[in-house]
Structure 1
Amino acid sequence: MQLSAAIQDRVHAFLGGNPDEAVLRWIFRSAVMVTAVALAADLAGMNGWIGRPDPAAEVRRDTPSPDLPSLLPQVPLPAIPDGDKRLTPRPQADGLMAKPMTFELVGGGRLMATGTITPGISEAFAAEIAKRGDYIKTVVLNSPGGSVTDALAMGRLIRDKNFATEIESGKYCASSCPLVFAGGVERRVGDKAILGVHQVAAVGHAGAVPRDEMNVAQNISARCQRHLGDMGINLQVWVHAMETPHDKLFVFKPEELKSLNLVTTAAVPPAAAPRPVPGKVRS
């Protein structure tokens, strides 16, 4: 833009009538004033005294902040087909199933293990085996699952003792219970029995860092995979577990039980309720 002739004359007159030092002082004071005005504007904007544009307003709500790590996986999990009848709501345990697991030795060398795998129950199981191991041939499971650590210990002890495992017709073994079932040298599942899995969950304490809980869950998952592999189970079983939300249950079809080597032999046909062994009481 061209300055008017009058303004140009005034500027020339000012510069001509002032020594160099005075001109420099004038320039310095002008720069200081401009800087002060800019700092005041920034301060007012930071404290909300005046409006200022918000760069975040241009970012979509579902776009993660580049400065903060996302707490959700960035890689999409495999989708589970809608309407898959194997994916069912996780059963809510009640009655005996909601109580800590109990053990009862009945005829035919069958140890009935019924109820929730609560923390520390593997020690009670080991004590039961120590007392009655000579009589036990098969551990019969009916459980909604529970403590993964205890389930792993129970499954390992079953394998060490060369016991068989079984799920009777119409009964179920869910969540961590299949880890116990996997320990059997022979594994049988009755007609209409349910064997199902889902994701493991790390139960953290208040104030726990999310990534620490994730480390715990990943460590548990690795132990479960190693256990299944050691027991001769196809690791596709654990893939199904990791694909299934914790509030759901992936139920294996009969042909899958065989193809994944979860089942090694046909189940014994349903029979009359077995009688407890005389002199043996429930633990």
Structure 2
Amino acid sequence: MFLSAATGYVALLGLVAMLGGSAHAAVALEERKLPMRFSWVACQPNCRGWVSAVGIVTAETPRHFDDFARDRPLKGETVVLDSSGGSVNDSIALGRRFRELGMVTTVGATHRAHGERANVSPEAYCESMCVFLLLSGKSRYVPEQAHVRVHQIWMGDRADNARAASYSADDLMIVERDIGRLAKYTFDMGGTGDLLELSLNVPPWEDLHELSREELRLTNLITTDKVAQLGSPNAAVVELTPKSVQGRFVTTAAASAGQQ
């Protein structure tokens, strides 16, 4: 049993291409439900390549990433996420590995067509704990067509029928402990309390909440607005000014006081 959430630079703009046909979309959906796998995608000669990370985070995922990264110079490279979430604590561990390597994160579906150069579709999903992996990037970008969705964390073996399930005191202790771990991780990565509030307001029996462009900026999930094609020697990066974590607490506290 594990606790789960219920369910560079982004210069991939120059590489973006929509997946062709429903067959590709169906394959992408199935891959998001499988354990996360990592692959290096080369796109020479006009770009640097990227790491494709597809699937759910399990207890084995951090170790699999360590094995994948061992003989590869991944420092500062881009991770393209397409994931339905997974284990809370293992996602936290994986996110810290991404940050240690100074990786850039974005959302996209990597597409490799026979005889064609690999490209990335912006029509992809980053849901549940994947959102906190996105947060781990030193720089973070979400294309307009991507779907970033949040939910409460819950006991993984009871998320599908959360209202009917029974819970012990130990279960509640585990949930509260992991919420604390997630909060610390969020602030360590430069996220704001708004991300936790938006996530923890959505129970597992409701649809995931899709973050708007305004919410993506409010939570600091977007820090990079535009970049040129990945690998361009003159890529111009427009960095946004992140929201201050402390400032968000002050704002939230003042708003709450005004409502009392």
Q: What is the TM-score when the length of structure 2 is the normalising length?
A: 0.63
Match of 1:172 among 125, 128, 140: 125
Match of 1:225 among 163, 179, 183: 183
Equivalent-residue separation in structure 2 for 1:121 and 1:176 (angstroms): 13
Does the 8 Å CA contact 1:173/1:194 hold for their aligned counterparts? yes
- Structure 1 residue 160 displacement after superposition: 0.7
Equivalent-residue separation in structure 1 for 2:52 and 2:89 (angstroms): 20
Match of 2:60 among 120, 124, 127: 120
Equivalent-residue separation in structure 2 for 1:125 and 1:151 (angstroms): 11
- Structure 1 residue 242 displacement after superposition: 1.0
Does the 8 Å CA contact 1:109/1:135 hold for their aligned counterparts? no
- Call closer, same or farther: CA 1:229–1:170 in 2, change over 3 Å: same
- Call closer, same or farther: CA 1:242–1:209 in 2, change over 3 Å: closer
Deviation per residue, 1:239-270 (Å, 9 max, x gap):
11111011421111011111221110125589
1:201 counterpart SS class: strand
Equivalent-residue separation in structure 2 for 1:250 and 1:190 (angstroms): 17
Q: Where does structure 1 differ by over 6 angstroms across 4 or more consecutive aligned residues?
A: none
1:213 counterpart SS class: helix
- Structure 1 residue 203 displacement after superposition: 4.2
Whichever residue aligns with residue 86 of structure 2, its letter is: G
Stretches of structure 1 lacking an aligned partner (at least 5 in a row): 1-88, 272-283
Whichever residue aligns with residue 103 of structure 1, its letter is: F
Whichever residue aligns with residue 138 of structure 1, its letter is: T
Does the 8 Å CA contact 1:187/1:265 hold for their aligned counterparts? yes
Corresponding residue number in structure 2 for 1:193: 146
Whichever residue aligns with residue 148 of structure 1, its letter is: V
Is it true that 1:157 corresponds to 2:115 in the alignment? no
1:266 counterpart SS class: coil
Aligned residues: 181
Corresponding residue number in structure 2 for 1:100: 35
Is it true that 1:251 corresponds to 2:191 in the alignment? no
Which protein, 1 or 2, shows the higher relative CO under an 8 Å CA cutoff with sep ≥ 6? 2
Whichever residue aligns with residue 167 of structure 1, its letter is: V
What is the identity percentage for the equivalent residue pairs of Structure 1 and Structure 2? 29
Residues 1-283 of structure 1: pairs in structure 2 closer than 5 A: 94-107=29-42, 108-134=48-74, 137-168=77-108, 169-203=122-156, 210-247=168-205, 248-266=207-225
1:215 counterpart SS class: helix
Judge which range, 221-230 or 127-136, deviates more: 127-136
Stretches of structure 2 lacking an aligned partner (at least 5 in a row): 1-5, 8-25, 43-47, 109-121, 159-165, 231-260
Deviation per residue, 1:52-97 (Å, 9 max, x gap):
xxxxxxxxxxxxxxxxxxxxxxxxxxxxxxxxxxxxx95x994211
- Structure 1 residue 133 displacement after superposition: 2.9
Whichever residue aligns with residue 189 of structure 1, its letter is: V
- Call closer, same or farther: CA 1:270–1:191 in 2, change over 3 Å: farther
